[in-house]
Amino acid sequence: MSTTTEETEKYINQEQHKAIQGIRLFLKSKSSYDVLPVSFRLIVLDTSLSVKKSLNILLQNSIVSAPLWNNQTSRFAGLLTSADFINVIQYYLQNLDQIQLIDQLTLNELKDIEKAIGLKQIETSSIPPFTSLFLACEKMLLSNARRIPLIDEDKLTHREIIVNVLTQYRILKFVSLNCKEIRMLMKPLKDIKFVSDKNKTTLVKANLKTPILDVIHILTQNNISAVPIVDENDKLINVYEAVDVLGLIKAGIYNDLSLTVGEALMRRSDDFEGVYTCTLNDSLATIMSTIKKSKLHRLFIVNEASGVVGVLTLSDILRYLLFSNDDEILS
Amino acid sequence: MSQHQHQHQAQQGQPQVSFNQPWIDPNILQQMNPHNRIGRYQIIKTLGEGSFGKVKLAFHLTSGQRVALKIINRKTLAKSDMQGRIEREISYLRLLRHPHIIKLYDVIKSKDEIIMVIEFAGKELFDYIVQKGRMPENEARRFFVQIICAVQYCHRHKIVHRDLKPENLLLDGDLNIKIADFGLSNLMTDGNFLKTSCGSPNYAAPEVISGKLYAGSEVDVWSCGVILYVMLCGRLPFDDDFIPALFKKISSGIFTIPSFLSPGAKEIIQKMLIVDPLNRITIDEVMETEWFKTDFPDYLKAETVPAGTNDNEAFDDEVAQNVVMTMGYNYEEVCDILKQKFVDGNTSLDNHEIVNAYELLLENKNYTNLNKDDGSSHIDTVASKLPPTWANTDNTRGNGAGGKTGEFKQIANNVDNGRNTLAYDMSPFVDNNNTAANSTISILPTSIPQYHRAYMMSQDPDILKRIAPASTKKSKIKWHFGIRSKSYPLDVMGEIYRALKNLGAQWCKPTEEELWTIRVRWKCGLLLKEGLNKAHTNPEDEIGATYTFSKSKNGNENDDVEMKDNTKSTPVDNESNTELTPDLMKMQIQLFQLEANNYLVDFKFDGWECSRNESLEFAQNDQLSSYSAYPFLHLTTRLIMELAVNSQN
């Protein structure tokens, strides 16, 4: 630690506290609808579509999830996310004899499969668009979801209308664009309690030679969205994300289950922005201003030797902004 | 792996957050996908889309230096008979050298595109202002002086920007202004220029928005005035969400000046934002004001009073040869024009391309002479493959120039020290540094997909035989609203009516006034129980039966009124009676003319209605529409598909 005087530290803490109060007020005063752009494109998939076609649609449009519509019930039917595609892989690993059927599997059947083998099901919680942002965040954090669909009802026809899907990134970007308070979040990560608490648990890592199936297993077992990949000196060099599974299936993983993660990553699209890293000297001010400009879903915290010491996810940031108590912020 | 480590460390010192590695090991670059190369440059990613086409981040293959590629589609340029002139103008831009103008290193020409290889600057002044709010006068003046000197330099060389706005004002790593797109607006057809400038008219001068064809250097003065206002006040002088209202405000030239501005700043803004371009202050007069001259940096003094553009200067054959080389004229022509201008004193040649190029090259040469003792030892061997950058030459250009880079380096060092020792001995609101300057956030170079592939290939040359590389070609779906047609408009309308008939829709008889609008209603059963039952007990499966509303039993002549009456006379009370759930969807179809021989069919949702009137007969709607998530889009798609089938027959 540095030679900072107690007074400066106290000042920083108070600013941090003020900023968080301000951001909470802001989240309570704005509705989920406010986050949506004036004009946007939304892709809704019909549950009678095949998994294969759905995957092509996601990849073609550079998206990683889509809300579903059941034409039998004429209702919203949950979200399709990378977790579902991981489930597909896992199911077929257990039932290798059915591997030929995968191309015909529909989204409806996928849901049945997930039920049958007791895997995590498609997230179906949703909120009306005029729910306050604070409640939307709360609901997401409590259900461990990274996104939440906004479902409205047409006043005249009483039909459900899928308005959009709100993601944690969209909310944090909205905050960073509209809350001047983010500049006051000067407290370095190393002094924020939840960061150091979280860093005490060891991070599961992989290297370029780790079999891809092991990496997928790590993702599901730990319920995480990304596995850091390190070299022989434990330096962070890359990451495997749950969403990378989409490209893996597209390329036909069933034909080659022995790929290493390094090989699998060769198929990653050039659109991939790269892995964001930060250090314990960074503050939420610098992180939020990065979120304002770049699409990122987590930052790996590295030390001087590029070793991973932790990870900061968007849920971590939201949870801290929403739920941290005064003692935690001021000490 | 030590290589990766080194680069990661080097990157951490950079304050920028966007992909901020200024250099990539050429050995790694060579391994990257050769399909992503243009000339000697390896493309890494698309940075954005500007008014002139895509801008891509790339690295020079042999030196590893970072550049930006601005890819201009020839189609967006002025008419083809002007192509030769356009290429010469771009060659001319290549001669511009100023510390605050984005350097054009190279121009690559192909059949469809002109690719400008330009200096990379990662940040926009706009973001900086948004992040920091209004700035103190000293800081704003520093930016303003840099902008004005760059603009004056270009005006001196007969180039007007015409589109100065925050998006074109970039910042380098040391927070110095770099103006982009100088001279490009001249290359656009006027239609294109208007289109692009309409994107953000807040910075456009009154004579520009009023569409006056002549736009001289005064328009840049106005834009600079707006920029200065924004920096000092943190808001726009003229702003309105409603574009006509905004235009009115700009044309009136009425704006408020906050009281916290100093009298000097107030005066300069007032004089720059004078509506009549003839009364507006000129760039040279701006530079004479006391406010502007305060703390004027030495290195820019050398820029503004260039040695040797004097007309009496002896003819420099070397420079003339250079004009021949860079601009592609023949030597005799160049000598002839220069003789007329400088020996015979023919002032009508003041704006001649050859004269301009000669003067520019002469000025450049004089700078180079000033820097003779440069010794090139400062120039990194890597960088020397590209034209020398100003950062390098600045170090040795007289006392003033040296001071500039030194000064900034020192600030940067202070920031670094601050981070390492006194982590937060900086109050966020006193400190003038960008918060991003304290950031240690960066992107891991080894995680860039191209880099990763190259690395994997260097480990195992045969890997591509086992792993099919990612398909880089993505069949991007283009989204359009409505349909376009080049057919005769009455034919288009005929086709639409035929398709509507086939789909069993109803429409109002078109009126004289609204010949190109069709008001339609469709049965769109809903899967609410009652709605569904109704659809079944109403077996109107007389396919193709269409009725205009005037045929209905009321026989009302005014169809529009009737449609309204229909809803009015049967107030829909959804809460109490679900049987009244509306099942008729109304739609307006309208034909627009986009340009000669090009029409757009537009579809507009027009509300719901109940099919209470049993005498109205509808064709059985298709089953799917009952269940679609978006009934309007579904019916529109059905119609478009029907039209497509018809047009193929």
User: pLDDT tens digits, residue range B471-491?
Assistant: 555 555 666 666 788 888 888
Nearest CB among B425, B441, B631 relative to A4 is that of B425
DSSP letters, A58-111, are HHHTT-S-EEEEETTTTEEEEEE-HHHHHHHHHHHHH-GGGGGGGGG-BHHHHH
- Please list every residue in chain B whose beta carbon sits closer than 8 Å to the beta carbon of residue A226: none
**Per-residue confidence (pLDDT) for residue B393, from 0 to 100:** 31
Do the domain assignments include residue A72? Answer: yes
Higher-scoring residue by pLDDT: B337, B194: B337
Query: Do the beta carbons of residue B7 and residue B25 sit within 8 Å?
Result: yes
- The verdict on whether residue B158 carries a ligand-binding annotation is no
Among B71-85, B132-146, B202-216, B445-459, top mean pLDDT goes to: B132-146
Among A21-25, B100-104, B540-544, B575-579, top mean pLDDT goes to: A21-25
**Per-residue confidence (pLDDT) for residue B389, from 0 to 100:** 32
| Catalytic entry in B25, B81, B112, B163 | B163
A30 pLDDT band (50/70/90 cuts)?
A: very high
CB burial of residue A33 (10 Å; 0-12, 13-18, 19+): middle
- Both tokens of residue A271? 């659109």
Query: In chain A, pLDDT over 70 holds for what percent of residues?
Result: 95
Same domain? For A275 and A310 the reply is yes
Which of A251-255, A302-306, B560-564 is predicted with the least confidence, judged by mean pLDDT? B560-564
Number of structural domains (chain A) is: 2
**Per-residue confidence (pLDDT) for residue B331, from 0 to 100:** 76
B539 pLDDT band (50/70/90 cuts)?
A: very low
Same domain? For A111 and A62 the reply is yes
Residue found under tokens 């000129």: B282
Identify the CA nearest to A79 among candidates A50, A103, A43. A43
**Per-residue confidence (pLDDT) for residue B597, from 0 to 100:** 80
pLDDT per position as a tens digit, A70-117: 888 888 988 999 988 888 888 877 777 776 777 788 998 888 877 777
Q: How far apart are alpha carbons B510 and A328 in whole angstroms?
A: 70
Last residue of a domain, one of A175, A205, A233: A175
Across the range B354-380, mean pLDDT stands at 55
Same domain? For A284 and A310 the reply is yes
Phi, psi dihedrals of residue B66, rounded to the nearest 5°: -80, 135
Q: Which residue segment(s) compose the domain that A74 sits in?
A: 32-175
Give the alpha-carbon dihedral of A178, A183, A189, A192, to 10 degrees. -80
Nearest CA in chain A to B608: A156
Whether B528 has its CB under 8 Å from any CB of chain A: the answer is yes
**Per-residue confidence (pLDDT) for residue B124, from 0 to 100:** 85
Q: Any idea what the Cα angle at residue A278 is, between residues A276 and A284, rounded to 5°?
A: 105
Strand partners, B106: B117
Helix H or strand E encompassing A217: helix A212-221
- Please list every residue in chain B whose beta carbon sits closer than 8 Å to the beta carbon of residue A294: 17-18
Nearest CB among A180, A269, A294 relative to B449 is that of A269
Q: Where are the alpha helices (DSSP H) in B158-201?
A: 190-197
A120 pLDDT band (50/70/90 cuts)?
A: low
Q: How far apart are alpha carbons B126 and B171 in whole angstroms?
A: 10
Q: What is the pTM of this model?
A: 0.55
Across the range A156-174, mean pLDDT stands at 90
Q: Contact B440/A278, CB-based, under 8 Å?
A: yes
Query: Do the beta carbons of residue B636 and residue B496 sit within 8 Å?
Result: no
- Both tokens of residue A234? 């434990």
Do the domain assignments include residue A111? Answer: yes
Same domain? For A161 and A208 the reply is no
Do the domain assignments include residue A14? Answer: no
Strand partners, A46: A69
Query: Do the beta carbons of residue A235 and residue B1 sit within 8 Å?
Result: yes
Nearest CB among B477, B581, B629 relative to A69 is that of B629
Q: How far apart are alpha carbons B499 and B506 in whole angstroms?
A: 11
ipTM of the complex: 0.89
Whether A61 has its CB under 8 Å from any CB of chain B: the answer is yes
Last residue of a domain, one of A123, A152, A175: A175
Do the domain assignments include residue A262? Answer: yes
pLDDT per position as a tens digit, B219-228: 899 999 999 9
Phi, psi dihedrals of residue B210, rounded to the nearest 5°: -80, 0
Between chain A and chain B, the number of residue pairs with CB atoms below 8 A apart is 189
Residue B192 confidence (pLDDT) above 50: no
Going along B22-125, which residue ranges are E strands? 37-38, 41-50, 53-60, 66-73, 104-109, 113-118, 123-124
**Per-residue confidence (pLDDT) for residue B473, from 0 to 100:** 53
Do the domain assignments include residue A25? Answer: no
pLDDT per position as a tens digit, B62-97: 777 888 888 887 776 655 455 666 677 777 777 788
Same domain? For A286 and A320 the reply is yes
- Both tokens of residue A140? 């997401």
DSSP letters, B262-284, are -HHHHHHHHHHT-SSTTTSPPHH
Query: Do the beta carbons of residue B165 and residue B200 sit within 8 Å?
Result: yes
- Please list every residue in chain B whose beta carbon sits closer than 8 Å to the beta carbon of residue A4: 422-425
Higher-scoring residue by pLDDT: B109, A204: A204
Do the domain assignments include residue A309? Answer: yes
Among A48-57, A101-110, A265-274, top mean pLDDT goes to: A48-57
Query: Do the beta carbons of residue A151 and residue A124 sit within 8 Å?
Result: no
Do the domain assignments include residue A80? Answer: yes
Q: Which strands, in side-by-side order, build the sheet including B442-444?
A: A308-313, A298-302, A275-278, B442-444
Residues 249-308 of A with CB under 8 A from B: 251, 259, 262-263, 265-279, 281-283, 285-287, 289-290, 292-294, 299-300, 306
Nearest CA in chain A to B462: A263
Strand partners, B598: B595
Residues 168-227 of A with CB under 8 A from B: 180, 183-184, 186-188, 208
Task: Say whether A277 sits in a helix, a strand or coil.
Answer: strand
Q: How far apart are alpha carbons B43 and A270 in whole angstroms?
A: 10
Strand partners, A45: A68
pLDDT per position as a tens digit, B563-612: 333 333 334 344 444 456 677 888 899 888 877 788 888 888 888 887 76
**Per-residue confidence (pLDDT) for residue B349, from 0 to 100:** 67
Higher-scoring residue by pLDDT: A327, A135: A135
Task: Say whether B165 sits in a helix, a strand or coil.
Answer: coil
Whether B450 has its CB under 8 Å from any CB of chain A: the answer is yes
pLDDT per position as a tens digit, B416-428: 333 322 222 222 2
Query: Do the beta carbons of residue A27 and residue A49 sit within 8 Å?
Result: no
Higher-scoring residue by pLDDT: A227, B394: A227
CB burial of residue B583 (10 Å; 0-12, 13-18, 19+): buried
- Please list every residue in chain B whose beta carbon sits closer than 8 Å to the beta carbon of residue A247: 470
**At how many degrees (to 10) do helices B331-338 and B353-370 cross?**
90
Is B163 a known active-site residue? yes
Do the domain assignments include residue A182? Answer: no
CB atoms within 10 A of CB A10: 11
Residues 71-110 of A with CB under 8 A from B: 71-74
Q: Contact B4/A235, CB-based, under 8 Å?
A: yes
pLDDT per position as a tens digit, B296-332: 888 887 655 544 444 445 667 777 777 776 666 777 7
Last residue of a domain, one of A114, A148, A175: A175
Q: Which of A68, A237, A275 to substitute to test the interface with B, most B CBs within 10 Å?
A: A237
Strand partners, A100: none
What Cα–Cα distance (Å) separates residue B152 from each residue in B155, B156, B164, B220? 5, 6, 13, 10
Identify the CA nearest to A144 among candidates A228, A83, A59, A227. A83
Whether A39 has its CB under 8 Å from any CB of chain B: the answer is no
- Please list every residue in chain B whose beta carbon sits closer than 8 Å to the beta carbon of residue A259: 467
Same domain? For A165 and A203 the reply is no
Same domain? For A170 and A296 the reply is no
- Both tokens of residue A109? 């059947």
Q: What is the DSSP letter of B438?
A: G
**Per-residue confidence (pLDDT) for residue B414, from 0 to 100:** 33
Q: How far apart are alpha carbons A310 and A302 in whole angstroms?
A: 7
- Please list every residue in chain A whose beta carbon sits closer than 8 Å to the beta carbon of residue B133: 180
Same domain? For A125 and A225 the reply is no
Same domain? For A37 and A168 the reply is yes
Same domain? For A159 and A205 the reply is no
Give the alpha-carbon dihedral of B278, B280, B283, B284, to 10 degrees. 80
Same domain? For A147 and A207 the reply is no
- Give the CATH number of the domain where residue A99 resides: 3.10.580.10
Same domain? For A150 and A214 the reply is no
